[in-house]
Amino acid sequence: MNCPCCASAEILLRSAKRLSCACAACGHQWQSHPTAAPIDYRQLSGRNIPDAAAHQAKLDDRITDIAPLLFPNLQVLEIGCAEGSLAACVMARGAMHYSGIELSGDALAAEKILHRVIREPATKLHGEVFDLLLSFHVLEHINDITAEVSAWRSLLGDAGVLLVEVPNQAGHPLLSDDPNVEHLHQFTTSSLSALLDRAGFAIERMTCGHFESAVYSDSLRVIARPCLPPESKRTALVARFRQALNRPFAIWGIGGDYHSYVAPWISEMPPSALIDSNAARHGEEIGGNLVESYDPYQHKDLLILVASLRYSSDIARDAKSCGIAAESLVYLADIYGLPRHKRSAENAP
Ligand SMILES: [Zn+2]
């Protein structure tokens, strides 16, 4: 027997424990052969409306991480949408198509809110592709988590995102055993990472401390994206730049960030000019272009790629002082999805 998360064969068998297997490598605990009859979720409903204020606080915490992942008309699939209260909050934030999987009787309530409610597990869905997969406190109920997470990967496009949350260990790091008979798995940060990694996901962010209920006061939340081979990463990167630089452009800023973030794709999209504020660089040749100063006669119709993370506010100031409109500036940080740093006077060399 191997660990369903990390595949280690070093398994501790604990006959006295409800979760009878523990992985010595990643700390995952699970029930290898559920003894009780499998729970028939179709017979259950209405189990998710406890304290209204706590419920809303939980939804607000989830929306904080979901909102930045939304874009117009995306296809969302929520695995375990319950009665649809999260769906209602997400759907209020813009145009999208929202599907949910719900095996319990809550599906009837969800059908009044979601565009579509599917009453079969994700492993039965084939040939569909979604942009965003959401799953809160569902994975720990599923016996074959390897098959489940593999199905999630096949339901996501290469540019898609997964947001999954499970109890952090037993629901609080100081508690060892989760007594909930519906929970067939107890995750650690290591086991959840290993499971997602082996299914072809790259973790973008993992956070803990998310409040699900008084019983599970600490939950692990992961945002992950499909792990792409190098050529697909480059294609995705070039697509972002093509979208942002949709007419002839100049690159302003030929320093370290240019070499890290621009040089890897620039052969696909040759610039019309290379500009730098530092006169010492003028005349340097890079990729067939000479670095020069801004020339309003030659460069006035070009978009300007601000090609520095560290000095973007300095470049923007210099560009604006040359009469370049703010709408003509495209920032490297925006294309890579990074915050724009303002360089403070104290940090200036
Ligand atoms: Zn393991």
CA distances from 86 to 58, 138, 321 (A): 9, 14, 48
**Ligand 1 centroid from CA 165, angstroms:** 18
Interval 40-55 mean pLDDT? 69
Confidence of residue 345 (pLDDT cuts 50, 70, 90): very low
**Ligand 1 centroid from CA 4, angstroms:** 7
**Ligand 1 centroid from CA 158, angstroms:** 27
Query: How would you classify the pairing of strands 29-30 and 185-186?
Result: antiparallel
Interval 49-72 mean pLDDT? 87
Strand partners, 30: 21, 185
Distance CA(112)–CA(288), nearest Å, equals 60
**Ligand 1 centroid from CA 205, angstroms:** 20
Confidence of residue 78 (pLDDT cuts 50, 70, 90): very high
Tell me: pLDDT of 341 over 80.
Answer: no
Say what the pLDDT of residue 158 is.
87
Say what the pLDDT of residue 349 is.
41
How far the first Cα of the chain sits from its last, in Å, is: 58
**Ligand 1 centroid from CA 123, angstroms:** 22
Say what the pLDDT of residue 32 is.
78
pLDDT digits (tens, 9 = 90+) for 120-171: 999 999 999 999 999 999 999 999 999 999 999 999 988 899 999 999 988 8
Contact 134, 79 (CB under 8 A): yes
**Ligand 1 centroid from CA 195, angstroms:** 9
Percentage above 90 pLDDT, the chain: 74
**Ligand 1 centroid from CA 11, angstroms:** 8
**Ligand 1 centroid from CA 224, angstroms:** 19
Say what the pLDDT of residue 91 is.
97
Phi, psi of 87 (to 5 degrees): -55, -45
CA 155, distance to chain mean position in Å, is 15
**Ligand 1 centroid from CA 199, angstroms:** 14
List the domains of the chain with CATH numbers: 39-227 (3.40.50.150), 231-347 (3.40.50.720)
Confidence of residue 99 (pLDDT cuts 50, 70, 90): very high
Confidence of residue 302 (pLDDT cuts 50, 70, 90): very high
**Ligand 1 centroid from CA 232, angstroms:** 30
pLDDT digits (tens, 9 = 90+) for 173-199: 888 888 888 899 999 999 999 999 999
Tell me: pLDDT of 348 over 60.
Answer: no
Distance CA(324)–CA(318), nearest Å, equals 9
**Ligand 1 centroid from CA 294, angstroms:** 57
Say what the pLDDT of residue 121 is.
96
Strand partners, 221: 165, 207
**Ligand 1 centroid from CA 212, angstroms:** 25
**Ligand 1 centroid from CA 174, angstroms:** 20
**Ligand 1 centroid from CA 61, angstroms:** 29
